[in-house]
A and B are shown apart, each in its own frame.
Chain A
């Protein structure tokens, strides 16, 4: 029975066993002592921990959850908070985008006076989700590798380029401030 189940193609609702044999893992659900598949995929057994899982081929859907790293476009930056359109989660594209919120208290490891020193509209940021229990996921850019990864001039829309420690527009030479990620300027449009 066990050998037969390993690697077997399953669809939602297919019985995988009973809880006395295997505990339900990802892609499964327990109903009245029986374990059923909830996804399309291949059944997989962990014989040491006695857990049955379904390795999905169709999903599961990607959503920003606590701990996930996201790429977002700043939609609106007010004095103390910014609204972010999350376009990718953990390397996977979100279509349409999800809305997130970045508060100034979690925008940088050091004190920031205003959000305009952290990011401005149209900037692309890499952030981490710190709370997904509220209506809008809360983000932070206070961490390694987090912050603005591509910035645009608020005066002319040109690219901001880091020259030394100064962030300068390559068209109008305007100097601006941002909370930059360690790899600022290397982002080429991917989902990471």
Chain B
């Protein structure tokens, strides 16, 4: 079992508490279309993070007055399950959850072609089943996949990853311990094909060269995650295509 309060976040070999190198992502598992009732859904495991994302819509806006005449409204709810952290978390939306709902929504808004569905809403739910740091980034990665799975037209998939500072050194994809005991945190959401950053936050202190290096590390990680997202979609939809092709084969009458 991992020590929750380690004295050092880096050992003599420069490895982190969980044995990773500074520029190494946690193991990522992505699955698409796992909820039957949602229009689109995705599941991500990034290290110990376990996150479900579901998309409903475009559907009629309720209450009616939130509808916009020229585009769809995206609503996002980031929520941590009461059992997602060591100490029970109140299920009521906290200030942090409201803020993260807003930043996730704003990081995905540039990619969705909302003008195709005026007067409707697209509801996005990000449910944290198990949290281990970097859940906003993992949530964005999963939510982007869920939007694509729902068939909502998008400019591009969005991937997100954080960089932080641990014992004076930049480290990729911070875990919960590193996030809490580290010196800085820099979450980045990125659209690789159009080379656009859709989310950039910073917590703590980084020098300008550190910031630049950290941003580049995060962007490289986002590119890796983007490849994984693509593979996850391919895995699901190539299976569907194979099943459809099998059904289409004509019956042979002896």
Q: Are A135 and B64 in contact (CB under 8 A)?
A: yes
Q: Are B64 and A61 in contact (CB under 8 A)?
A: no
Q: Are B238 and A39 in contact (CB under 8 A)?
A: no
- Choose one: B191, B237, B241; the contact of A13 (CB below 8 Å): B191
B109 → A minimal CB distance (Å): 15
Q: Which residues of B contact A59 (CB under 8 A)?
A: 150-152
Residue of A nearest to B241 (CB): A57
Within 8 A of A (CB), among B60-75: 60, 64, 67, 69
Q: Which residues of A contact B153 (CB under 8 A)?
A: 12, 27, 29, 38-39, 60
Contact flags (1/0) for B134-156 with A, using CB distance below 8 Å? 00000000000000111111111
Within 8 A of B (CB), among A95-115: 96-99
Q: Which residues of B contact A56 (CB under 8 A)?
A: 151
A62 → B minimal CB distance (Å): 9
B125 interfacial by beta-carbon distance below 8 Å: no
Contact flags (1/0) for B193-208 with A, using CB distance below 8 Å? 1100000000000000
A126 → B minimal CB distance (Å): 20
A59 to B112, CA, bound (A): 14
Q: Are A63 and B120 in contact (CB under 8 A)?
A: yes
- Choose one: A31, A36, A63; the contact of B117 (CB below 8 Å): A63
Please tell me the size bucket of the interface on B: 35 or more
Q: Which residues of B contact A97 (CB under 8 A)?
A: 60
A178 interfacial by beta-carbon distance below 8 Å: no
A64 → B minimal CB distance (Å): 10
Q: Are B237 and A57 in contact (CB under 8 A)?
A: yes
Known A58-B150, A63-B58, A135-B67; judge A13-B40 contact (CB<8 A): no
B8 interfacial by beta-carbon distance below 8 Å: no
Q: Which residues of A contact B149 (CB under 8 A)?
A: 40, 58
B114 → A minimal CB distance (Å): 12
Known A9-B238, A15-B193, A58-B40; judge A36-B151 contact (CB<8 A): no
Q: Which residues of B contact A19 (CB under 8 A)?
A: none
B58, B119, B229 interface centre (most CB from chain A within 10 Å): B119
Number of interface residues of A (CB under 8 A): 27
Q: Which residues of A contact B150 (CB under 8 A)?
A: 58-59, 61
A21 interfacial by beta-carbon distance below 8 Å: no
Q: Are B194 and A31 in contact (CB under 8 A)?
A: yes
A97 → B minimal CB distance (Å): 8
Q: Which residues of A contact B59 (CB under 8 A)?
A: 94, 96, 98
Within 8 A of A (CB), among B153-198: 153-157, 191-194
Q: Which residues of A contact B85 (CB under 8 A)?
A: none
Q: Are A36 and B155 in contact (CB under 8 A)?
A: yes
Q: Are A11 and B57 in contact (CB under 8 A)?
A: no
Within 8 A of B (CB), among A11-30: 11-15, 27, 29
Contact flags (1/0) for A116-152 with B, using CB distance below 8 Å? 0000000000000000000100000000000000000
Contact flags (1/0) for B119-134 with A, using CB distance below 8 Å? 1100000000000000
- Choose one: B40, B57, B113, B238; the contact of A38 (CB below 8 Å): B113
Q: Are B148 and A12 in contact (CB under 8 A)?
A: yes
Q: Which residues of B contact A40 (CB under 8 A)?
A: 148-149, 151, 233, 237
Q: Are B157 and A13 in contact (CB under 8 A)?
A: yes
Q: Are A38 and B154 in contact (CB under 8 A)?
A: yes
Besides A58-B149, A61-B39, 9 new A-B residue pairs in contact (Cβ under 8 A), listed by A number = A9-B238, A11-B230, A12-B156, A13-B157, A13-B192, A13-B193, A39-B154, A40-B149, A98-B60
